[in-house]
Structure 1
Amino acid sequence: MRPRALVYGDVDLNLIDGSAIWAQGMVQSLARAGCAVTLVLKAPVRTGRLVDPLRALPGVTVRSPHAEGRVEGDRGMPAKQAAVVLTEIDAEDPFDLVVVRGRRLAGKLAAGPLAGRLWTYLTDVPQSAGEFDRAAKGELRRIADASRMLLCQTEELRSFLESAVPATAGKSVLFPPVVVLPDGLTPRGGEPPRGRALRLVYTGKFAPRWNTYEMTGLPRMLALRGVDAELHMVGDKIHDDPKDPGFSTRMRTALESAQGVVWHGGHPRAEAMRLTAECDVGLSWRHPEMDASLELSTKVLECGALGVPVLLNRTPMHERLFGADYPLFVASETDVVDALTLIGKNPDLYALAAERCRAAARDYTLDAAAERLGAYLAQAFPDPSEAVLAAARQAAAHGAGAAPAGATGERKLRVGVAGHDLKFFTRLLDYLRSRPDMEVRVDHWAALKVHDPERSQELVEWADVVVCEWCGPNALWYAKHKRPGQRLLVRLHRFELYARWPQHLDIDAVDQVICVSPHYARLTRETTGWPAHKVTVVPNWVDDRQLDRPKLAGAEHHLGMIGIAPSRKRLDLALDALEELRRDDPRFTLFVKSKLPWEYWWIWQRDEERAHYEQVFRRIRRSPLLAGGVVFDTYGRDVAAWLRRIGFVLSTSDDESFHLAPAEGMASGAIPVLLGWPGADTIYDTRWIHADASAMAASIATTVRDGHWEADRQVAREQVTRAYGLAEVCRQWTELLAGARP
């Protein structure tokens, strides 16, 4: 069954600008990814140049609240009214996902019945730490909590949001601009103009920070350099700027009368792109205060797809896209004239710029966008499993009663999850809730030993299978109170293994005890004497899709540690390795993302722990080799963004049950470097395990020196995705819940 998507952008589709083009691209991408799409318009239709092509798409419905009589007048809906209208439309026949653009609108919807189904596209958010006040953080946290997905235009925006608003971490995914060439439009071949004027082109809105007024002076200034040029400007949205009341009049006058300027007015997108393809250089030169923008101009990518090189500001994002040596980076009006003069007289430079732009645009096609959305849709709406449905039928046959039907019209499998701390189960819980063949309820215990017995009993009477997260008092209670025929799964962590609870657990009442590694499964069997067939292994999950992000420059010289407390994490051994590396190459740096030991009261009150860390930090201050080589970063959920700078993730612990940090590093494209703590070789390939800190340092140095870092990190990523990727672990849990014997 095709997912049904409702799309609304706080944008006027009568005007051509980047936000309007977003709406077109989003609808087309969702339709191609397999959704039935309903687009709701903000404003009444005054021109069909953007809407008509969407109406013609199969599987797409365009609704105008103004034409339907839901909205009076001829002005666009404000956010509050739009939220009411969207809620009413959804109530008629609820949608599976609701894609919205506009922060104010998303804030209104976050408190309503669409919460949980929102796929919020974030652009109009503060883009610097100074702009992020408490109110903005609070609003974005509420939006994040109500959203199934947060769609971010660029990696830079995603990383910034995750560091500023922790609630966005794990939900933020990429949805870059979409470039769709009209049928029959052929890109340029990269040839410079010969025997005619250099044609410059700008399409979009006219606004002060977009330097559109300054652009109108370029033909005149180029003429003074002996370059014959004309500027073609496409668009009809002239911005009224309160800070510059005269801008609108000044801009219109220049469009109508400036030397060498041809103003084409507003046009359908296809015609605007045809006009661009007939020109030689696209203009995206903006005011320097926009250099910090975390958004990427759709017009830049459109020019690239058309084979038209684009002139734009030098920023880290643009350097990553086009290369640091791209010849059309500019910062000032003088730079613009110099670059256009040079490229107008140098065919080779023009061809280089055109090819760079074409290459950059290849990742932003409609097919690429549809494939990206298809992966998100598959994650959000997994297919039902015949094994799960069979388990549900079997449970119903044993008198468990009726339940809401799944996507196939069959009864869903009832899954209960009980525990006091579900932080290690969050993504699994999200996945189980998203399945069309399962219904999930949670018995959240207030503390390790504190719960509501009536609520727990209700779960016993309702569930087909119960998962106890932690083998603690919750597991003991459910083992005692479970119904006949009800299945009970208990997940045991390192914390409980040497506590008293496993000794008191009625193992005959438990179907499976789940450990995260073969080593701890063996220890569990040896310690408890439980039957071998009762103890199985399902590893910790690694969100490999979220962690797969491009590395920042210099990552191959950056080591990372996530968590350095308690002392058995052995930060001192990591410092041993770092000193050896920096003895030959001071570029090596250790980044530590962790709470500091004194932030854990239960650690800092122990004399031996305090002594260990006092010695470690004294060493960092006094060692000449470590000076400037250790960076402590704030503890937080933005691990995926932090890992972009890390090339090697260290694991120097005395012991671990699994140690997720190296696996997360591998998923990010970093190389794991481990000491041989007990059981490490049952989780990680022995190629990543070393005898001591010196061997760790030697391996890192050799990998970088011999140029193997790129190849080795790809091997590491493939290994972790295959063994511990979220999709694989979810598959294993689905089989367990369906009753499969491991």
Structure 2
Amino acid sequence: MSTPPPRALLYGDVDLNIIDGSAIWAQSMAQALAAAGCEVTLLLKAPVRTDRLTAPLAGTPGIRLLRPYEDKLLSDLGPRGLTPEQAAALIAARHERRPFDLVVVRGRRLAGLVAQEESLSGRLWTYLTDFPHSVGELTASSVAELTEIALASRFLLCQTEELRAFLESSVPAACGRSVLFPPVVVVPEGLRAAGEVHARTRLAYTGKFAPRWNTLEMAGLPAELERLGVDAEVVMIGDKIHSEPADWSKRMRRALEDTPNVDWLGGMSRADALRRSAECDFGLSWRDPSMDSSLELSTKVLELGALGLPVVLNRTPMHENLLGADYPLFAGTDLASVAEVVARAYADRAVYADAAERCRAAAADHTLERAAERLRGYLAEALPPAPAGADPGRPLKVVVAGHDMKFFTRLAEYLDSLPGLEVRMDEWEGLSTHDQYRSRELAAWADVVICEWCGPNALFYAKWKRPGQRLIVRLHRFELYAEWPRKLDIDKVDAVVCVSPHYADLTREITGWPGDKVVVVPNWVDDEQLDRPKLPGAEYSLGMIGIAPSRKRLDRGLDVLTELRRMDPRYTLSVKTKQPWDYWWIWNRPEERAYFERVYRRIQREEPLAAGVVFDPFGPDVATWLRRVGFVLSTSDDESFHLAPAECAASGGVPVLLPWPGADTIYDPHWIHADAVAAAESVHAVVSGGHFAAEAERAREEVTKAYGLGRVRSLWTDLVVRGKAPAPVSAAP
């Protein structure tokens, strides 16, 4: 029996009668979801007064338009379209009638409302745009609102890497949920600009007319270019003129209607607007400098680029990443600077061709096909198929029990998302503190119990284990030398999971448990989330994640940095960590306090370290932080696994390890160095020799193959569903 297509409801708090970037988003998102294989229901905000955007959708297989006005879905509809409250109520009601697999929404107020609908939690795919784009604009209430939206969302769809980084750094709940979904460009097949400048050059602007979009100033371009000897005409397409301030809107309309060599074509369909733009020589996306901090990428830039038009736009970090820092059509803040860059490209055909090619290349990653490919990946993540051995008609009942779930929550969420599994959590308040009645109920209910930590929770569930029930215990370094493993009735346990071969061997040696019951399922790295472009200069940045307690050996990391800064002062060390005094159990130990006082005094007093060490706040935004880190150090006395070097490798960086017991069973010895001097020499040889990209690629391939999230999930799924012990897996040769 074939699997039915995912059911998607799509709503943007935008009026599809008015052609602007927001309305184009709704049309493109519907097309992309349908191309990805979804059955799409697009809820319209307003009555259809023009079908310029809706007609192409009505004729697309897999897309259904839900018209609240025409179909009289509500009795109190106003003239300006659905309010966010009405839209949220309609979405919840439609979901209750027949559930959707995903609900894609745009609009911060709307997202905040649907996030409160419990039935939609985990099904929301929230497209974020209208929220503060700088730390100064963020308030406690806006962070709280965004946190609530993030917690209710399966994905937060971000236009740009810059927006994702800002969001994750500001809203911790967004980490692990934020994914890229850049603007989608849909250009009629075969439509391209001529690729050359005509004697009378034409400049195209499409979209809304608003003060910060510099549309009034653009009307003065023909006269400004005439002073530079360029015969020019500005073609302006759109019919949405901002009404505020009133004086500005009157001046804008007068400029559109009365300015010589300004050809205002009014509103038209997206396809027709692209056809008229393709008849032009340049595109315009020049805006007020107040918008330079925006983290949103204009769809118009990409559409015009896809046509082969070079686009005049502001110089911003995001635009430099898109087109290159030396892109020739970056304009300044005044109209004269726009005219100057246009005149230069008009006169120099090599400059024109270079700018056009850069815009075309930038648009190539924003096609409908590429968007559908991205969505198919996210759909596979959110809606995985039933695993072999599971029966969706008779779900396998799984309990996950423990006092601290931070290492297992993502795996538990994944198991719960699998058809054929029902997962319940038994979260203990402390190592020995829990609701005994609830735990007894869950023990009686479960087919499989997973105890996260081999502590009192494992002893409890072993005591109450039923015949035919399976018990899996995950043992960490913390418990291995404690009393609980000695008290555990190993005959009641089906598998003890360790994260590394070294600790599996130690467990067998210390406990005397049967060797075949101790299995290795490694820690996972979220290779998809970590795969982000490095920032310029990252190869000169070392990183450490977590430096407490003292056995993490920050002092050795400082030794490596000291050696490197002797070779090149550009090397720095970023330390992402809680401070030792944030852990009472560390700071109350005199030897720990003495160690950190000594190490921190060294940083203050040694000039190479004082100028080269930066402490960054502890937090879940590791993927964003790693964008500026090229090497991550592992200098500990001992580790059970140490995830940080693997995360670095998955992010496109290079792991650097000093020997600790078992390191060579997890990581290739290529990344393990005899001492701090050898580690520093290796780092510098990689950077100075131009080998960073090759070494990073090698590390990423090794680590993702062994510890990628998909692989580790499959190992856990086989163990839980089929009781199948995993085969050994390691990035070490």
Normalised by the size of structure 1, how large is the TM-score?
A: 0.96
Task: Output one character per residue of 1:606-658: Cα deviation in whole Å (capped at 9) or x when no partner.
Answer: 11111111111111111122231001111111111000000001000000000
Query: Equivalents in 2 of 1:648, 1:190: separation in Å?
Result: 44
Query: Equivalents in 1 of 2:675, 2:17: separation in Å?
Result: 66
| SS of structure 1 residue aligned to 2:430 | coil
The answer as to 2:172 corresponding to 1:166 is yes
The answer as to 2:60 corresponding to 1:77 is no
The answer as to 2:126 corresponding to 1:120 is yes
1:628-643 aligned within 5 A? 628-643=611-626
Query: Equivalents in 2 of 1:192, 1:8: separation in Å?
Result: 41
| SS of structure 1 residue aligned to 2:390 | helix
| SS of structure 2 residue aligned to 1:690 | coil
Shift of 1:60: 1.1
1:543-562 aligned within 5 A? 543-562=526-545
Query: Equivalents in 1 of 2:27, 2:419: separation in Å?
Result: 30
Stretches of structure 1 lacking an aligned partner (at least 5 in a row): 390-405
Query: Equivalents in 1 of 2:122, 2:170: separation in Å?
Result: 22
Shift of 1:386: 2.6
Question: Aligned match of 1:496 in 449, 461, 479?
Answer: 479
Shift of 1:232: 0.1
CA contact (8 A) 1:561 1:591 kept: yes
Letter in structure 2 aligned against 1:377: L
The answer as to 2:36 corresponding to 1:33 is yes
CA contact (8 A) 2:387 2:418 kept: no
Q: What is the aligned partner in structure 2 of residue 357 from structure 1?
A: 359
Q: What is the aligned partner in structure 1 of residue 155 from structure 2?
A: 149
Query: Equivalents in 2 of 1:22, 1:719: separation in Å?
Result: 38
CA contact (8 A) 1:388 1:734 kept: no
Q: What is the aligned partner in structure 2 of residue 517 from structure 1?
A: 500
The answer as to 2:521 corresponding to 1:538 is yes
Task: Output one character per residue of 1:534-581: Cα deviation in whole Å (capped at 9) or x when no partner.
Answer: 000000111111111110010010000000111111111111111111
Q: What is the aligned partner in structure 1 of residue 270 from structure 2?
A: 269
Q: What is the aligned partner in structure 1 of residue 731 from structure 2?
A: none
CA contact (8 A) 1:192 1:351 kept: no
The answer as to 2:480 corresponding to 1:478 is no
Query: Equivalents in 1 of 2:593, 2:403: separation in Å?
Result: 29
CA contact (8 A) 1:388 1:737 kept: no
Letter in structure 2 aligned against 1:282: G
Question: Aligned match of 1:570 in 545, 553, 566?
Answer: 553
Q: What is the aligned partner in structure 1 of residue 107 from structure 2?
A: 102
Shift of 1:189: 4.9
Query: Equivalents in 2 of 1:660, 1:102: separation in Å?
Result: 37
1:431-442 aligned within 5 A? 431-442=414-425
Q: What is the aligned partner in structure 1 of residue 224 from structure 2?
A: 221
The answer as to 2:694 corresponding to 1:711 is yes
Letter in structure 2 aligned against 1:318: H
Letter in structure 2 aligned against 1:741: A
Q: What is the aligned partner in structure 1 of residue 729 from structure 2?
A: none
Task: Output one character per residue of 1:329-383: Cα deviation in whole Å (capped at 9) or x when no partner.
Answer: 0122221111011111111100000000011111111111111111110011111
Shift of 1:188: 2.5
Q: What is the aligned partner in structure 2 of residue 19 from structure 1?
A: 22
Shift of 1:192: 2.4
1:231-250 aligned within 5 A? 231-241=234-244, 244-250=245-251
1:660-675 aligned within 5 A? 660-675=643-658
The answer as to 2:321 corresponding to 1:320 is yes
Q: What is the aligned partner in structure 1 of residue 730 from structure 2?
A: none
CA contact (8 A) 2:224 2:336 kept: no
Task: Output one character per residue of 1:137-187: Cα deviation in whole Å (capped at 9) or x when no partner.
Answer: 11011111111111111110111011111011110001000001124x422
Query: Equivalents in 1 of 2:399, 2:35: separation in Å?
Result: 36
CA contact (8 A) 2:193 2:280 kept: no
CA contact (8 A) 1:10 1:105 kept: yes
| SS of structure 1 residue aligned to 2:385 | coil
| SS of structure 1 residue aligned to 2:120 | coil
CA contact (8 A) 1:230 1:260 kept: yes
How many residue pairs are counted as aligned between the two chains?
718
Query: Equivalents in 1 of 2:291, 2:458: separation in Å?
Result: 56
Q: What is the aligned partner in structure 2 of residue 302 from structure 1?
A: 303
Letter in structure 1 aligned against 2:373: E
Letter in structure 1 aligned against 2:106: R
Q: What is the aligned partner in structure 2 of residue 627 from structure 1?
A: 610
CA contact (8 A) 1:513 1:535 kept: yes
CA contact (8 A) 1:311 1:329 kept: yes
Q: What is the aligned partner in structure 1 of residue 413 from structure 2?
A: 430
| SS of structure 2 residue aligned to 1:625 | helix
The answer as to 2:571 corresponding to 1:613 is no
CA contact (8 A) 1:673 1:688 kept: yes
CA contact (8 A) 2:194 2:279 kept: no
| SS of structure 1 residue aligned to 2:72 | coil
Query: Equivalents in 1 of 2:631, 2:260: separation in Å?
Result: 57
Task: Output one character per residue of 1:196-227: Cα deviation in whole Å (capped at 9) or x when no partner.
Answer: 21100100000000000000000011111111
Shift of 1:258: 0.9
The answer as to 2:575 corresponding to 1:596 is no
Q: What is the aligned partner in structure 1 of residue 436 from structure 2?
A: 453
Structure 1 segments, 4+ long, off by >6 Å, are none
CA contact (8 A) 1:202 1:234 kept: yes
Normalised by the size of structure 2, how large is the TM-score?
A: 0.97
Question: Aligned match of 1:375 in 374, 377, 381?
Answer: 377
Question: Aligned match of 2:145 in 127, 130, 139?
Answer: 139
Query: Equivalents in 2 of 1:670, 1:189: separation in Å?
Result: 42
Query: Equivalents in 2 of 1:89, 1:154: separation in Å?
Result: 31
CA contact (8 A) 2:390 2:419 kept: no
Shift of 1:32: 1.0
Task: Output one character per residue of 1:441-488: Cα deviation in whole Å (capped at 9) or x when no partner.
Answer: 111111110111111111112111010000000000000101111000
CA contact (8 A) 1:217 1:259 kept: no
| SS of structure 2 residue aligned to 1:67 | coil
CA contact (8 A) 1:190 1:355 kept: no
Query: Equivalents in 1 of 2:574, 2:442: separation in Å?
Result: 45
Identity rate, percent: 64
Task: Output one character per residue of 1:54-90: Cα deviation in whole Å (capped at 9) or x when no partner.
Answer: 1111111111111111233432111011111111111
Shift of 1:191: 2.1
Query: Equivalents in 1 of 2:81, 2:577: separation in Å?
Result: 48
Query: Equivalents in 2 of 1:420, 1:665: separation in Å?
Result: 29
Letter in structure 1 aligned against 2:53: L
Query: Equivalents in 2 of 1:714, 1:629: separation in Å?
Result: 27
| SS of structure 1 residue aligned to 2:295 | coil
Stretches of structure 2 lacking an aligned partner (at least 5 in a row): 727-733
CA contact (8 A) 1:665 1:672 kept: yes
CA contact (8 A) 1:16 1:266 kept: yes
Task: Output one character per residue of 1:472-515: Cα deviation in whole Å (capped at 9) or x when no partner.
Answer: 00000000101111000000001000000000000000000000
Query: Equivalents in 2 of 1:386, 1:535: separation in Å?
Result: 24
The answer as to 2:73 corresponding to 1:90 is no
CA contact (8 A) 1:66 1:74 kept: no
Q: What is the aligned partner in structure 2 of residue 6 from structure 1?
A: 9
Query: Equivalents in 2 of 1:47, 1:91: separation in Å?
Result: 31
